[in-house]
Structure 1
Amino acid sequence: MSAPSTTTDSRRLRAAAGRARLAVVLPVSLLATLATMVVSYLGKAECGGPPFDRFGRSAHFPVGHGGTQWMPCYSDIMYLWVGRDINNHVFPYIHGGIGADGKLFGGVVEYPVLSGLLMYFGASGAHTDSDFLLHSAILLAPFGLAITVLLAVVARWHVLWWAATPPLILYSFHNWELPVAFTVVLAVAVMAWGSSISPRTGERRIPLLPTASLTSVILAVGFCLKLYPGLFILPLAVYVLLHDRARRDWRGGFAVLAVGTLTVVAIQVPFMVAGFDGWKASLSFQGKRKSDVDTNSIWYWGLRHFFGGQTPAYNSAVGVLSPIMILAAFALAVYLGYRVHRAGGAYPWIGVSASMLAAFILFHKVHSPQYTLWILPFFVLLRVRWPVIAAYLIGDLILDSTIFRLFGIYVSHSPMKWWVITGVNVGVWIQVALLAMLIVVFVRSPLREPLASVGRRPTAPDREAISA
């Protein structure tokens, strides 16, 4: 009886050591998150302050007090205060539409419906763009802190890639990215909790299909915030389909897809019924968007030069090539995941999801710098080599430090500065090269610990000791 006791004692010691590490990691990472978000807010608030015009727009927007800040203070949050009836506190989508000139009116915003609701709530009680930024920051900050808690639990010190790097300073309150990133991290955490082994029974805490179905609901909610989490329902369904090597679970796979689809429909239908034209207008706006200077995409900074500029032929080519490349890359990611499964591993639905996201960011006609907050949690969850992560963050920092200054130069018709246009190109192409590589790397990257060990059943001696 000594062997089971020794093994069990060893497991208990490892568990105690893990809890001790978490007790240190959690407060440190939360303090880092809080500090970065405070700095983020203070940096963005530089674009506000009195005097304000009759719409509540600060005279300092979008360049700040003299435009000499260490970071660009421009944010989409403050920008959207005027022009979408947010400042007039109009409930989104219900009363508006899109004009012949492509401009939205009547409370319609160019975001999925749940993000529109967050904007509406953020504007409650606000009378200026500075108020709107503050209220939105208060609304968004808990999501950033919650992401830190979940990542600390599943990846320990690697959470600092999220909590203590520049993107959280640059983008926490640039746009409404934190809630959607939270849905992705929560989905991973739910799957991990469901597959964890109960010390009492030695089996999963929650059966696979209910866990995956709940995860599909969470990802569908994310779809209604910023679309991309909905992509991850597909690899999740494939994971359920292939989890039992003895047979294909077709019913389970289709059930995961169906649950996600029904959740999206349930969220969208009330807006469609209450104001179909307004609901449709947000989709039409995105469909009409061009890949131009404010999208930082491979198309504008690459393909455009082969068409002599942003010509109708260029726009048509992007409209065809972008979805084809995205779908082809999605198929590649799913296939690469299947190869990992055939080699003897579980289907890597998290790695495949990250690969699909990298492809979406790379080939979509719109690419904004704040999308780094989308991909950053996957650097925490997956064992990507640190030089790759560092290079991506450096490229992102270079891009963010120059692209918003480039916009200011174009708007003011000022002389172009060589370091601005060079920085934009360097930042864009660093990210392009890394995203192309990550489409493959993500799928092959193992999970971080302790996430990788979740679901491992105790050995036979452990089970005997537990039952005894």
Structure 2
Amino acid sequence: MSSSPTGPSAPATPPADGPAAFPDPQPALPPAGRGPDRVVPTWVDPVAAQAGEAVGGPWGRHAVTGRALFWTPLRVCLLFTTAVLALAWLKQSPCADGDWAGSVQYTHFCYSDTVPLFGIHGLDSGALPYLDSAVEYPVLTGAFMAVAATLGRTYDDLAAAAGLLPQVPPVQAYYVATCLLLSLCALVTARAVLGASGHRPWDAAMVGLSPLLLVHAFTNWDLFAVALAACGLWAWARERPVLAGVLLGLGTAAKLFPALLLGALFLLCLRAGRLRVWLRAAVAAVAAWLVVDVPVALLAPENWSLFFRLNSSRPADPDTLWNMAITASGGTLLDGPLAEGETPVVLNALVAVCVLLVVAALGWLVLRAPVRPRVGQVAFLLVAGFLLVTKVWSPQYSLWLLPLAVLARPRWRSLLAWQATEAVLWGVRMLWYLGTDDRGVGTEWFFLAVGVRDLAVLVLMGLVVRDVWDPDDDVVRTSWPGVDDPAGGPLDGAPDAVTLRRRQLVRDQVT
């Protein structure tokens, strides 16, 4: 994406009223003949233009794109990501050695699931997830944990044998290895978003400079599944549905949310009459998931099924709308008081109904919209809607939305506003865990932060729905003439086959 295949692009032409025509900028139109090979952010985004003042102002009227020998958009975006990951590591460093005396994990906002689970699952003694210990995560996440533990033990052995490396507690070597692997996943995610963004490679900077990445990159192992899902969408954008299916299937073997992306692709393929393409991706996804999960399920069925049993029996997570309602009722709403391990049958049923309603509403929107929505838009709406109505929204789950939100609506202001609420919620959550006796905060402040975050997600969803309903507001389509869906792959430019018009199903003849 750094330059056109035949060399640097011709000088780009900014809008007629100049690069500083804000706050309502016009899209940068390429000149007749050979034009710029990418959208210029400082011409079309007010935040990018203001930030550009620190390095000389917006891109010049007679500037030429594609001349950089080293600092291409990809390398700059990876540099941004690396810088944010370095800050994230500095934030986490007080918790790295596993000595959490004085509740340092809360006072320094550096809590991570990976540290306590190192000993709980026997990784410190070489136990293998599932085969030697029960792990409450899908199979590939357990494999990720095992690889990090192996790397940590390797470092410990080298430090003890050579005497040239500093010796650290085993949990710290493991945690550093985990953070390095997760950092690689973050870089892969940024690269995948750049690859799926078409003429907007700089959108990947929204991933690299994400406050959400700063806060939650190392909270859990979710970046592994996020990277697989993002690569799956990139493969789909490159018209490789089988590879996309394999990557989404592997992502589902790490966390279940990539399976939702197959649902989003189904709705779009239904409208475009490309269900055969979707079926190839779906079959590949199921095959990849089976290859990973079946051997573990046969060797350790009880440990393998723990993830599914736990998700069925667990109550509403603290930062969900369900928990807020149950707490407000004094614990009497829905299933009422539950014994330890008792399954919340009513809650599970209501969550299932709400998820189906989200899917039905999104299906109506996809088939009723005047123009087929883009892949990023539908994927974001489905995953965001799922998180809002499900009974579990762990803090790091918000990372699932990051690449999807960037592909759905690459506008700095709305993305930063939403992510600011996520960062505030994390801080309030840590203080809530600390407790009021230790100068923490009460439940009411935690619920307020949850409500503000949920409202920010709803507003972002509303903005995406508005773009779907009025494609003239969609920055991806208006910033480059003739663009349909850069991440659409087989769907890009496809005519409609099934739409909803005037409450009747209309089947257009596709030739």
Is contact 2:421–2:456 with CA below 8 Å preserved after alignment?
A: no
- How far apart are 1:437 and its partner, in Å? 4.2
The residue identity in structure 2 corresponding to 1:231 is: L
In the alignment, the residues of structure 1 paired with residue 184 and residue 463 of structure 2 have an alpha-carbon distance, to the nearest angstrom, of: 31
2:135 matches 1:109 = yes
The Cα RMSD (Å) is 3.0
The residue identity in structure 1 corresponding to 2:269 is: V
Is contact 1:291–1:366 with CA below 8 Å preserved after alignment?
A: yes
2:49 matches 1:30 = no
Length-normalised TM-score, structure 2: 0.71
- Counting only pairs closer than 5 Å after superposition, residues 268-347 of structure 1 correspond to structure 2 as 268-293=293-318, 296-308=319-331, 312-313=335-336, 315-340=344-369, 343=370, 345-346=371-372
Deviation track 1:426-453 (CA, whole Å, cap 9, x = no partner) reads 3211222233344554354547367856
2:119 is matched with 82
2:273 matches 1:225 = no
- How far apart are 1:359 and its partner, in Å? 1.3
- Counting only pairs closer than 5 Å after superposition, residues 369-408 of structure 1 correspond to structure 2 as 369-383=395-409, 386-408=412-434
**Distance change >3 Å, CA 171–CA 11, structure 1 → 2:** farther
- How far apart are 1:24 and its partner, in Å? 4.2
2:503 is matched with none
Identity, in percent, stands at 22
Deviation track 1:397-451 (CA, whole Å, cap 9, x = no partner) reads 1100110221122xxx826644x64542232112222333445543545473678
The residue identity in structure 2 corresponding to 1:265 is: L
In the alignment, the residues of structure 2 paired with residue 440 and residue 18 of structure 1 have an alpha-carbon distance, to the nearest angstrom, of: 35
Out of 172, 185, 191, which is 1:149 matched to? 191
- How far apart are 1:349 and its partner, in Å? 3.2
- How far apart are 1:42 and its partner, in Å? 2.2
2:128 matches 1:91 = yes
Is contact 1:171–1:373 with CA below 8 Å preserved after alignment?
A: yes
In the alignment, the residues of structure 2 paired with residue 81 and residue 383 of structure 1 have an alpha-carbon distance, to the nearest angstrom, of: 38
2:375 matches 1:349 = yes
Deviation track 1:36-88 (CA, whole Å, cap 9, x = no partner) reads 11121222120133xxxxxxxx33268338x653xx01111112112222222
- How far apart are 1:266 and its partner, in Å? 2.1
- How far apart are 1:135 and its partner, in Å? 0.9
Length-normalised TM-score, structure 1: 0.77
Is contact 2:317–2:393 with CA below 8 Å preserved after alignment?
A: no
Is contact 2:242–2:284 with CA below 8 Å preserved after alignment?
A: yes
Which sits farther off after the overlay, 10-19 or 226-235? 10-19
Out of 457, 464, 470, which is 1:442 matched to? 464
Which sits farther off after the overlay, 133-142 or 9-18? 9-18
1:199 is matched with none
In the alignment, the residues of structure 2 paired with residue 447 and residue 228 of structure 1 have an alpha-carbon distance, to the nearest angstrom, of: 26
1:129 is matched with 171
**Distance change >3 Å, CA 214–CA 422, structure 1 → 2:** same
Number of equivalenced pairs: 400
Is contact 1:355–1:439 with CA below 8 Å preserved after alignment?
A: yes
- How far apart are 1:115 and its partner, in Å? 0.5
The residue identity in structure 1 corresponding to 2:118 is: W
Out of 437, 453, 473, which is 1:414 matched to? 437
Secondary structure of 1:13's counterpart equals coil
2:182 is matched with 140
In the alignment, the residues of structure 2 paired with residue 290 and residue 19 of structure 1 have an alpha-carbon distance, to the nearest angstrom, of: 54
Query: Any gaps of 5 or more consecutive residues in structure 1?
Result: 1-7, 50-57, 96-106, 195-210, 458-468
Secondary structure of 1:356's counterpart equals helix
Deviation track 1:320-379 (CA, whole Å, cap 9, x = no partner) reads 211211121022112211222xx2x33533322211100111111111221221111122
Secondary structure of 2:291's counterpart equals helix
1:425 is matched with 447
In the alignment, the residues of structure 2 paired with residue 94 and residue 141 of structure 1 have an alpha-carbon distance, to the nearest angstrom, of: 27
Is contact 1:220–1:264 with CA below 8 Å preserved after alignment?
A: yes
Is contact 1:384–1:442 with CA below 8 Å preserved after alignment?
A: no
- How far apart are 1:20 and its partner, in Å? 5.1
Is contact 2:228–2:248 with CA below 8 Å preserved after alignment?
A: yes
The residue identity in structure 1 corresponding to 2:74 is: L
In the alignment, the residues of structure 1 paired with residue 307 and residue 368 of structure 2 have an alpha-carbon distance, to the nearest angstrom, of: 39
Return the structure number with greater helix share: 1
Out of 31, 46, 56, which is 2:94 matched to? 46
2:290 is matched with 265
- How far apart are 1:241 and its partner, in Å? 3.8
In the alignment, the residues of structure 2 paired with residue 310 and residue 417 of structure 1 have an alpha-carbon distance, to the nearest angstrom, of: 28
In the alignment, the residues of structure 1 paired with residue 146 and residue 101 of structure 2 have an alpha-carbon distance, to the nearest angstrom, of: 21
In the alignment, the residues of structure 2 paired with residue 238 and residue 23 of structure 1 have an alpha-carbon distance, to the nearest angstrom, of: 39
**Distance change >3 Å, CA 26–CA 399, structure 1 → 2:** same
Out of 207, 211, 220, which is 1:162 matched to? 207
- Counting only pairs closer than 5 Å after superposition, residues 56-75 of structure 1 correspond to structure 2 as 58-60=98-100, 63-64=103-104, 68-69=107-108, 72-75=109-112
Is contact 1:399–1:423 with CA below 8 Å preserved after alignment?
A: no
- How far apart are 1:284 and its partner, in Å? 1.2
Which sits farther off after the overlay, 387-396 or 73-82? 387-396
In the alignment, the residues of structure 1 paired with residue 192 and residue 289 of structure 2 have an alpha-carbon distance, to the nearest angstrom, of: 24
In the alignment, the residues of structure 1 paired with residue 298 and residue 426 of structure 2 have an alpha-carbon distance, to the nearest angstrom, of: 40
In the alignment, the residues of structure 1 paired with residue 463 and residue 326 of structure 2 have an alpha-carbon distance, to the nearest angstrom, of: 25
**Distance change >3 Å, CA 408–CA 14, structure 1 → 2:** same
